[in-house]
Amino acid sequence: MRAAWYERNGPARDVLVVGEMPTPTPGPGEVLVRLATSGVNPSDWKTRGGSRPMVAPRVIPHSDGAGVIEAVGDGVDRARIGERVWIWNGQWKRPFGTAAGYIALPSPQAVRLPDGTSFEAGACLGIPALTAWRALQVDGGVAGQTVLVSGGAGAVGHYAVQMARLMGAKQVITTVSSADKAAHAGADHAIHYRSEDVAERVRELTGGRGVDRVVEVDLAANGALLPKIVRQDGICACYGSGKAEVTLPFGPMIVSGAAVRFFIVYELPEGARREGCAQLNAWMEQGKLTHAIGATLPLADIVAAHEAVEAGAVLGNVVLHC
């Protein structure tokens, strides 16, 4: 099969190779998926760059993807052959991800892809969509609440704005850095975080109360704002940070009673994973989710794809055709 891989950490153009590799065979409990698409996420370039140690001498990157089940291993219902699927955790604690013609992985990690959903959209679900869902669902959900989605034009943020509404939030505010991003995010209110006083605008928009929940893309950059924008005893669900270390103002935080919930989508508890996958599929079947595919490239252009995601140069998800 055609695949992209790296055998050491480093810059995309120094370490990524595209070539031929043996097609895997599905082991017991596994399915073999012929991949149509592979999604590129920030985690993929960070891991390739060395943020996590190499899990094997050769790594095929990317955790997200979509395709069709072509074969199954022992113990998997043969009725799954021919099923369109989307994939989660393709390259989490496993060497071979989705930047390839095929992937063999445990059957539950290939989730049925609703008929009306494209393979391109299917490559955005495992990380961006499930992260957005978890950031809103964890610790009680957002029904009837006011939510601030930090960075609402991002891959995760764009889903989070939509899902906050779908989950019953009464007001969705976002922060952005441009008018284009404000339009793309589609929240009730967009605050331009580089030119406006975010705390003041949030207080204005919430009648001085603060938001019930912040969905945070960069806690290192925005942590100091938290006690000024979260209501008493509110929550920040944090899924990202621009820096390895985060500082929070202890005095104001303790007075605000705010909770900060950290999570990583790769490590969702089994029950939450099942609930999240079912919820995404239900929304897609009802035509309620809009997917932002910002760029599609052939697998051969994986270096350009990594560099684009690393530079934050594309509005929407970057997807490879395998």
Ligand X SMILES: NC(=O)c1ccc[n+]([C@@H]2O[C@H](COP(=O)([O-])OP(=O)(O)OC[C@H]3O[C@@H](n4cnc5c(N)ncnc54)[C@H](OP(=O)(O)O)[C@@H]3O)[C@@H](O)[C@H]2O)c1
Q: Does 131 bind ligand X (CB under 6 A)?
A: yes
Q: Rank residues 155 and 280 by Cβ distance to ligand X and give the closer one.
A: 155
Report how far Cα 50 is from the mean position of its chain's Cα atoms: 20
In angstroms, give the least distance from the CB of 20 to ligand X: 30
In angstroms, give the least distance from the CB of 313 to ligand X: 9
Q: Does 89 bind ligand X (CB under 6 A)?
A: no
Angle at which helix 270-285 crosses helix 130-137, to 10 degrees, equals 110
Please give the Cα distance from 4 to 19 (Å, whole number). 6
Let me know: does 279 contact 168? Beta carbons within 8 Å: no
Please give the Cα distance from 312 to 49 (Å, whole number). 16
Q: Rank residues 79 and 311 by Cβ distance to ligand X and give the closer one.
A: 311
Phi-psi region of 141 (alpha: psi -120 to 50; beta: other; left: phi over 0): left
Report how far Cα 245 is from the mean position of its chain's Cα atoms: 21
Q: Rank residues 174 and 281 by Cβ distance to ligand X and give the closer one.
A: 174
Interacting stretch for ligand X, rule CB under 6 A, among 1-9, 11-19, 37-45, 49-57?
Answer: 37-45
In angstroms, give the least distance from the CB of 253 to ligand X: 18
Q: Rank residues 80 and 261 by Cβ distance to ligand X and give the closer one.
A: 261
DSSP assignment of 223-247 equals: GGGHHHHEEEEEEEEE---SSS---
Name which position in 37, 98, 107, 175 contacts ligand X (CB under 6 A). 175
Helix (H, G, I), strand (E, B) or coil at 283: helix
Name which position in 61, 97, 227, 240 contacts ligand X (CB under 6 A). 240
Q: Point out which residues bind ligand X (CB under 6 A).
A: 41-43, 127-128, 131, 150-151, 153-157, 175, 177, 181, 193, 217-218, 221-222, 239-240, 263-265, 312
